[in-house]
Amino acid sequence: MWCEPNIRMLAKGHLYSAVLLFVLRGATEPRSVEAQISSGFNFLVVFPENIAYFYPEEPHNQVHVTALHDNTEVTVAIRKQTHTETLAAAQTRRFFYYGNAELGREDISDKVVRVNSTGQVTVYAVSVKAGSVQSARVLPVNVLGTEYLVLPVPKIQGTTQPPDMVSAYVTEFAPFRLVVVNAEKVNTVSLEGDSNNTREVELEPYHAAQFWLDTDKAWRVLRAKHPVAVLFGHPCTMTNVTLNCSCSMLYAALTPKRHDKMAFLVPPPLTQDSQVQTALLLSQEDSSLVDSSYPGWPLVELPGIVVLHQPGLLLPLIPQSELASCYVVNTVQDAHNFAVILVHKDLTAGVRVGSGPPEDPIWRTLTGTDYVSTVVKLSLDNNAIWHTSDKIAVYYMGEKEDALFGNPAPAVSQTSDYRGCVLSPEVLEIGPEALGWQESVKFCRDLNLHLVSLSSLPLLDQVQAKIRQEHTGDGFPKRAWIGLRRSTLTGAWYWINRETVTVSNWKGADPKGTHGGQCVTISLELDQEFDWSREYCCQNVHPICYRGPNLFPM
Ligand SMILES: *[C@@H]1O[C@H](CO)[C@@H](O)[C@H](O)[C@H]1NC(C)=O
Ligand SMILES: *[C@@H]1O[C@H](CO)[C@@H](O)[C@H](O)[C@H]1NC(C)=O
Ligand SMILES: *[C@@H]1O[C@H](CO)[C@@H](O)[C@H](O)[C@H]1NC(C)=O
Ligand SMILES: *[C@@H]1O[C@H](CO)[C@@H](O)[C@H](O)[C@H]1NC(C)=O
């Protein structure tokens, strides 16, 4: 946010197209859907019926809000009741709703919790009743859609099997549902199936509708006039038929329909127990399928959605094209909390959980792909899980009374940085004009940047990688000033950020003696290894201006 004025100024004109590209990527990098859908300012939360609305135990429904920036004012509201609090960066606040927010079986309800904030936040919804727990990543309102694919109903012994037992009258044998949450406009929502089956409802602002998915209708798609949020699931699926009444709520928050074919990496089995049945629920435009041959497929490609099902768990998979560099992972009290991380097999060393690498990770191969996965235990309230140089997939998982639950973790950044989880990325910009070194220092400072000090090896690597990535070939400056020069007082080289000179990349031997130039350029020619040379400070060379990233505190 704080770098925007500069960008506007720079974007006005007079820069190299290459240079302009730098600036845009640095500060307002176009973000893929997955990054956009995870943090935001406005959210709608609904708590579907858990076990049964009359079950004699109070629900402990929770909205977890994590602020990304300091002084974030968060308001949660249900009906006319509102509550406002100010959060610090990285602070997670759990708002509790007991009996008053859970849906019953009404078709239409006004029990929708609205969350808004003055700064970006991530939001989890957690439903707890007795041992039945479910968590969901809540999508911000601005990325909700008007079209959602309906998932096929999984085969669950004691709930959907045998099929002739499915009946609206018995909780654990009731049909699966869609819960649709309307945003701020009066809306029309219709559920469409094969053979021109259609069911339509009108929805007032901030109301939720429930659709029972009678399986004989082959429901395919849900459409709305204005954007809505959609949950798919069941209040009470059997997790183990030999244990009477050991049912648990099963819900997944769906993402709006996308039209491109996408690849989904399927995490390896989360349990060693071969008794536990796992299936993939696959849905695309005109077909849906439950595939129980899992773990036969480490990678699934289709223009639709893929959700992994295990007893207690419906886990929407993150498409490979929408992996992110940093996720904020909350935890649920009184549960065993962990995360599943998927990363390219050559880049496991760059995975961080909080400020350090995971402890003794065991990496399992996703056969037939370049990816590996691991499971890490979570102990803090919220955990940044990130990568120093690449994009990864992260799922939050919890376990309570032997039932799993979980969700894709909310992504907060698409830009990786060796220093941490990026809230606003570093800015790297090559000045449009060749200037003397001293004028270059001023030029950068006037933009609220600094002539770059490449004072550490990871920074050197990251800057070089970025220049390589953005290099536009002919017409790109051949060399540029960096913030290194020799003291006329002591003769020693120093960085203008005052860090000691511990790394260098001189062309040939380290320059000795006071003759020759007292300032330093870096080569930008791609076949030159970015080596440094001393130059006379009054020469005219393009400056590299720089500012570090703004990071999520850990
Ligand atoms: C959040 O919503 C409340 C009403 O529920 C409203 O009064 C407030 O202005 C909103 N805040 C922001 C930052 O939009
Ligand atoms: C569905 O409706 C369309 C257009 O109204 C019609 O052409 C088609 O034959 C119908 N299909 C079925 C299976 O009824
Ligand atoms: C179901 O519960 C019984 C009794 O506790 C246990 O022996 C069995 O292993 C469980 N089955 C599964 C699939 O978890
Ligand atoms: C389940 O119910 C049956 C019949 O009511 C009973 O015989 C059996 O002991 C119960 N099993 C458990 C694990 O409670």
As averages over each run of 10 residues, the pLDDT of the chain (554 residues) reads 27 33 38 62 97 92 96 96 96 90 95 97 95 94 95 92 85 94 97 91 97 87 97 92 79 93 89 77 90 80 93 93 94 93 97 95 92 92 91 95 88 94 94 96 97 96 92 90 91 92 88 82 91 94 96 93
Q: Is the CB of 167 under 6 A from ligand 3?
A: no
Find tokens 């176009």 and name the residue: 30
CA–CA distance, 207 with 110 (Å, rounded to integer)? 5
Q: Please state, in angstroms and rounded to a whole number, the distance separating the CA atoms of residues 361 and 50.
A: 35
Beta carbon of 86 within 6 Å of any ligand 1 atom = no
Query: What end-to-end distance do the CA atoms of the chain give, in Å?
Result: 20
Percent helix, strand, coil in the chain (nearest 5)? Answer: 15, 45, 40
Ligand 3 pocket: which of 156, 242, 274, 310 to mutate (most atoms <8 Å of CB)? Answer: 242
Q: Using DSSP, state whether 128 is helix, strand or coil.
A: strand
Q: Is the CB of 197 under 6 A from ligand 2?
A: no
CB 183 within 8 A of CB 247: no
In this structure, which ligand is nearest to the CA of 113? Answer: 1
Give the Cα separation of 510 and 488 in Å (integer).
18
Strands 351-353, 313-316: pairing is unpaired
Counting other chains too, the contacts that 402-405 makes at CB distance below 8 Å and 24 or more residues apart are: 402/239, 402/240, 403/131, 403/132, 403/133, 403/239, 403/248, 403/311, 403/312, 403/313, 404/270, 404/271, 404/310, 404/311, 404/312, 404/313, 405/133, 405/134, 405/135, 405/248, 405/312, 405/313
- Radius of gyration (C-alpha) of the chain in whole angstroms: 27
Q: Is the CB of 75 under 6 A from ligand 1?
A: yes
Angle between helices 457-470 and 17-28 (to 10 degrees): 120
The CA–CA distances, whole Å, from 453 to 263, 428, 544 equal 40, 12, 9
Instruction: Give the integer Cα–Cα distance in Å for 40 and 10.
Output: 27
Q: Which helix (H) or strand (E) holds 328?
A: strand 326-330
Task: Give 174 Cα–ligand 4 centroid separation in angstroms.
Answer: 21
Between CA 236 and CA 248 the distance in angstroms is 5
Judge if the beta carbon of residue 457 lies within 6 A of ligand 4: no
The atom of ligand 4 lying closest to the CA of 243 is 13
CA 400–ligand 3 middle distance (angstroms): 15
Residue 383 confidence (pLDDT):
87
Ligand in nearest proximity to the CA of 118: 1
Instruction: Note whether 226 and 284 are within 8 A (CB).
Output: no
Q: How far apart are CA 6 and CA 351, in angstroms?
A: 32
Ligand 2 binding pocket includes 192 (Cβ within 6 Å): no
Give the rounded distance of the alpha carbon of 543 from its chain centre: 34
Whole-Å CA distances, 79 to 101, 139, 182, 510: 10, 20, 14, 70
Instruction: Locate 426 and state its tokens.
Output: 């570093």
CA nearest neighbour of 511 among 492, 539, 538: 492
Q: Is the dihedral of CA 461, 463, 469, 475 positive or negative?
A: negative
**If you measure from the C-alpha of residue 240 to the centroid of ligand 3, how many angstroms do you get, rounded to a whole number?**
6
**Rounded distance from Cα 194 to ligand 2 centre (Å):** 9
Three-state secondary-structure class, residue 323 = coil
- Does 245 sit in the ligand 4 pocket, CB within 6 Å? no
* Closest by Cα among 524, 546, 522 to 534: 522
Does ligand 1 have an atom closer than 6 angstroms to the CB of 118? yes
Ligand 1 nearest-atom number relative to CA 77? 5
Any ligand 3 atom below 6 A from CB of 17: no
Using most ligand atoms within 8 A of CB, pick from 238, 241, 244, 245 the residue to mutate for ligand 4.
Answer: 244
Please tell me the residue having the least CA distance from ligand 4 atom 1: 244
pTM of the model: 0.89
In ligand 3, the atom with minimum distance to the C-alpha of 240 is: 1
Q: Establish whether residue 77 lines the binding site of ligand 1, counting it when its CB lies within 6 angstroms of any ligand atom.
A: yes
Q: Is the CB of 218 under 6 A from ligand 1?
A: no
Closest-CA residue, ligand 2 atom 3, reads: 196
Other CB atoms closer than 10 Å to residue 232's CB: what's the count?
28
pLDDT of residue 9: 27
Interior/surface letters 258-288, b for 16+ CB within 10 angstroms, e for the rest: beeebebbbbbebeeeeebebbbbbbbeeeb
362 Cα: distance to centroid of ligand 3 (angstroms): 27
3-state secondary structure of 37: coil
Whether the CB of 243 sits within 6 Å of ligand 4: yes
Query: Which ligand lies nearest to the CA atom of residue 73 in the structure?
Result: 1
For the CA of 44, the nearest ligand: 1
Name the phi and psi angles at 322, rounded to 5: -120, 25
Q: What pLDDT, on a 0 to 100 scale, did the predictor assign at position 5?
A: 27
- Beta-carbon count within 10 A of 350 CB: 18
> Which stretches within 29-148 are classed as H helix?
33-36
What distance in angstroms lies between residue 72's CA and the mean position of ligand 1's atoms?
12
Which one of the ligands is nearest to 244 CA? 4
* Pocket of ligand 4 contains residue 244 by CB under 6 Å: yes
The residues, any chain, with a CB within 8 Å of residue 173's CB and separated by 6 or more, are 158, 159, 165, 166, 167
